[in-house]
Copies of this chain bind each other. A is one copy, B any other.
Amino acid sequence: MDTALKAIADPKRREILRLVWTSELPASDIASHFHDVTRSAISQHLGVLRQANLICERRSGNRRLYRANAEEMARLRTFLDQYWTGGLDRLKTAAEAAQRKKDNEHG
């Protein structure tokens, strides 16, 4: 999970993910979308995303087609949601504990 979080912390990798979010794309198409960096750099970014299980690879003849792994993306989003709401839960339980303490003091 931490691997995925670090993977999407990079803007280029987030852009790559958006490219393959809806449509499956060959590595060359993905690479040609970035004009400030080499094809090799993009290939390595794809490797990072692959290792984080955020993209799936399918070989078709000469090409390798990539698409976002919606399942893992969803898991990551859930993790982040739980992290956020987890804070609220802590607030809630803290408030409840304070209330109990207050009640005990009054009882």
Q: Choose one: B21, B83, B84, B91; the contact of A87 (CB below 8 Å).
A: B21
Q: Categorize the interface residue count of chain A.
A: 20 to 34
When chains A and B are docked, how far (Å) is the Cα of A17 from the Cα of B6?
17
User: Is A90 among interface residues, defined by CB-CB distance under 8 A?
Assistant: yes
The number of times this chain is found in the oligomer is 2
Check B9 against A91 for contact (C-beta < 8 Å).
no
When chains A and B are docked, how far (Å) is the Cα of A88 from the Cα of B95?
38
Q: Min CB distance, A76 to chain B, in Å? A: 9
Check A5 against B8 for contact (C-beta < 8 Å).
yes
Check B22 against A90 for contact (C-beta < 8 Å).
yes
Q: Beyond A9-B9, A18-B86, A68-B87, list 10 extra A-B contacts (CB 8 Å).
A: A6-B9, A18-B83, A18-B90, A21-B87, A21-B90, A22-B87, A22-B90, A22-B91, A77-B84, A80-B80
Q: Could you name 14 residue pairs across A and B whose Cβ atoms are closer than 8 Å?
A: A2-B9, A2-B11, A6-B9, A14-B83, A18-B83, A18-B87, A21-B87, A21-B90, A22-B87, A22-B91, A23-B94, A68-B87, A73-B84, A80-B80
